[in-house]
Amino acid sequence: MKRIFVLCIIGAGLTACSFGKQTFVSSRLIPLNGQVSNSRSVDSIVTPYKTELDQQMNRVVTLAPTDFINQRPSGNLGNLVADVVLSRGKQHAGGLPVVCLINFGGLRAPISKGNVTLGDLFKVMPFDNQLVVVKMPAHAMDDIVAYLRKSGGEPIAGFSVRGNEVVDANGKPWGKTDFWVVTSDYLMNGGDKMVFFEKKIEVVQTGELFRDVLIQFAESTPVLSSNTEMRIVINP
């Protein structure tokens, strides 16, 4: 009986193998240099899409009167983006103070003086980060200020930091109340070590991309305004 059982197992194994199909895959590196010839068949497929994409990316959407540069602790590029994002975020929050906090590293390129194309804005914000509005407890502002002092500054709007003093958009001392923070989903989830967002009370998912908000603003603004306000002063 035992012998029959073994034979059955072996037979089943052979049957399974006989119906199986083995695939062998090999690969090699192909250096991209002048020796690699163009493929007409591939070009015929890609070219129409590339042409259309180039036309879109080269479309002028606004004008920059000066260079917009990302700087720490504050710079006109960070101020611009933070102001735009704050304005949109306020549409999703109410009843409490609203501020904006984004990350210095999220702005990947400057905006040069002159015509600003759609491609230029994609270079500034190449990531598909979504805009979220986060309700935070009053004491979380202390954590945000400590973070800004340690990092050397991040783009902010709706408030300013003068050493350990925090003032609102009207220049008045920051009140001890809960508040909303307009930011990205990346930062809300702890990106760039912004762990203070773990204290969040409520989150509003807007479904909008940061980049799209900036593009829509630029398309509706003939000339960008440069705001060089120093919103963060580490050592007043």
Contact call for residues 89 and 188 (beta carbons, < 8 A): no
pLDDT score of 81 more than 60: yes
Alpha carbons 232 and 163: distance in angstroms, whole number: 8
pLDDT, residue 46, reads: 64
> Can you read off the two tokens belonging to residue 150?
């340690």
Looking at residue 199, its pLDDT comes to: 97
Q: Which CATH superfamily is domain 55-233 in?
A: 5'-Nucleotidase, C-terminal domain (3.90.780.10)
User: What's the pLDDT score for residue 139?
Assistant: 96
Predicted TM-score (pTM) of the model is 0.79
Q: What pLDDT digit, counting tens, does each position of 142-178 carry?
A: 999 999 999 999 999 999 999 889 999 999 999 999 9
Question: How confident is the model over 51-69, as a mean pLDDT?
Answer: 88
